[in-house]
Amino acid sequence: MNRPVDDQEHTPIDPARQAAVEVLAAVRERDAYANLVLPKMLRDRKITGRDAALATELTYGTSRAVGLLDQIISDVAKRPVEEIDGAVLDVLRLGAYQLLRTRIGAYAAVSTSVDLVRSRAGHGPVGFANAVLRKISQRTEELWVDALAPSISEDLVGHLAFQYAHPRWIAEVFDDALGGSAGALQAALAADDERPSTHLVARPGMITADELAAVTGGDVGRYSPYCVYLDSGDPGDIEPVREGLAGVQDEGSQLVARALAIAPLDGDDAGRWLDLCAGPGGKAALLGALADIDGARVTAVEKAPHRAELIRKATRELPVDVIVGDGRDPGLEPGFDRVLVDAPCTGLGALRRRPEARWRRNPGDVPDLVALQKQLLASAVGQLRPGGVVVYSTCSPHPAETREVADWAIAELPVTALDTRDLVPVDDLTGGPYVQLWPHLHGTDAMFFAALRKN
């Protein structure tokens, strides 16, 4: 006779699910970042191999799908998720993700979740969790979407936002940026909802992309001459990464740094380069390696002392001077040839790599960020010599903090737009003179950048 899951003999909780639920709790309780907490936890607990891969998939996948999972849990539980105990909710999300978006069997997903509830919240809520997860398991994800999502005919954007686990306002931003194409919106949201591959950067002058690919077993990138795609494994275990010859950096970010280094100036390059918002140091490290080849020197400005220390570590032995200061008024001697403004932004272009970020941002964040972006860009132009170039970039496709900021700079500051597409080895770019990359088109984060030359 089949007995309820809670009556079966339960085994010790496996380390992968234990790690995943603890990271989910850290994200919920203290706004931690899953991509920072999980790798350290795996190292500290010596979780490797298949267990590490499972913990990674469950943590990041659940974090990406939280909005979708919460609506399903709320429907089944007949109460808002805010009324469910947090420790129980973490487990319900983890269990629902396994049921709907993995090949893990229903019995294993439910039984391990029941054990997790018991270990984290006591015996009281076990029956509730068991009942909720069993009911969720009676439908596939597709059937739950059909049951709960807005009608396609009446609200296509809302339906796609639900289906691909995005807040509606972000789907609307993507729709605006993509020109209202339903096919493009669906492709963008679908790509944003998938697990991305890891992109490595081979520091020029230290190691080539071909050499890095041979060491790692990865594939050389499509666009950046420094990029290698890595499908699996911990980058921290790769010897060139440990030795500082390579790093982890999205290919789109690599193209931003490269664009600044090759942008045509009026007059000679005296070798004074500036990274005005440099933390945590990825672009500064690539710029430093390129500067080392060209005989230039980079000044990297970062407001937060702990992030400035990360830049120092990332750029050790490179011609990079790290300054703790505010990019809006860095207190530097003007006259730089090249300036990078990789401005603080909503980060909507990197949601696939920061899985919980989509549920933290809200439209009210945008106006203050736009004001800051304009202040930083004005400061950058003030630091440039006449004929020098500033590259303004954000990891976002939001028109308000991308094209509209660049258009504002051309109207209000003494700069002229270069055709940024000429600085990027990508064929299918439209909408110049700026560049907007997309995960579904280019496999990169949705990076925006504009090259502006001082009059």
**Tens of pLDDT along 39-59?**
999 999 999 999 999 999 999
- Has 395 been annotated as catalytic? yes
d(CA 392, CA 406): 8
What is the model's pTM? 0.92
CB 362 within 8 A of CB 311: no
Provide the Cα torsion 380, 385, 387, 391; round to 10°: -20
Q: Is 295 within any annotated ligand binding site? A: no
**Confidence band for 309, pLDDT divided at 50, 70 and 90:** very high
Q: Is 326 within any annotated ligand binding site? A: yes
d(CA 56, CA 319): 36
CB 296 within 8 A of CB 288: no
Neighbours of 65 (CB within 10 A): 21
286-302 mean pLDDT = 98
Percentage of the chain modeled with pLDDT above 90: 93
Average of per-residue pLDDT values in the chain: 95
Q: Is 263 within any annotated ligand binding site? A: no
**Tens of pLDDT along 67-81?**
999 999 999 999 999
250 CB-contact burial (10 Å; exposed 0-12 / middle 13-18 / buried 19+)? buried
Q: Which residue has the higher pLDDT, 237 or 226?
A: 226
- What is the predicted pLDDT for the residue at 1? 35
- What is the predicted pLDDT for the residue at 447? 97
- What is the predicted pLDDT for the residue at 153? 94
**Tens of pLDDT along 381-424?**
999 999 999 999 999 999 999 999 999 999 999 999 999 999 99
Res 4 pLDDT > 90: no
CB 420 within 8 A of CB 389: no
Partners of 390 in beta bridges: 339, 452
Percentage of the chain modeled with pLDDT above 70: 98
Q: Is 283 within any annotated ligand binding site? A: yes
**Confidence band for 2, pLDDT divided at 50, 70 and 90:** very low
233-243 mean pLDDT = 89
d(CA 286, CA 55): 31
Q: Give Cα 40 distance to the centre of its chain.
A: 18
**Confidence band for 6, pLDDT divided at 50, 70 and 90:** very low
What lies within 8 Å, CB to CB, of 411 at 6+ separation is none
**Tens of pLDDT along 324-362?**
999 999 999 999 999 999 999 999 999 999 989 999 999
Res 7 pLDDT > 70: no
**Confidence band for 10, pLDDT divided at 50, 70 and 90:** low
Q: How many residues does the chain have?
A: 455
**Confidence band for 11, pLDDT divided at 50, 70 and 90:** low
Q: Is 218 within any annotated ligand binding site? A: no
What lies within 8 Å, CB to CB, of 154 at 6+ separation is none
d(CA 60, CA 93): 12
d(CA 157, CA 317): 49
CB 55 within 8 A of CB 15: yes
Residue (of 448, 336, 346) closest to 381 by Cα position = 336
Catalytic residue among 395, 400, 423, 441: 395
Q: Is 124 within any annotated ligand binding site? A: no
- What is the predicted pLDDT for the residue at 231? 86
Two tokens at 94? 């983890």
Res 246 pLDDT > 60: yes
Specify the range with the lowest mean pLDDT, choosing from 94-98, 168-172, 240-244.
240-244
Q: Is 280 within any annotated ligand binding site? A: yes
Please give the radius of gyration of the chain, using alpha carbons only, rounded to the nearest integer.
24
**Confidence band for 9, pLDDT divided at 50, 70 and 90:** very low
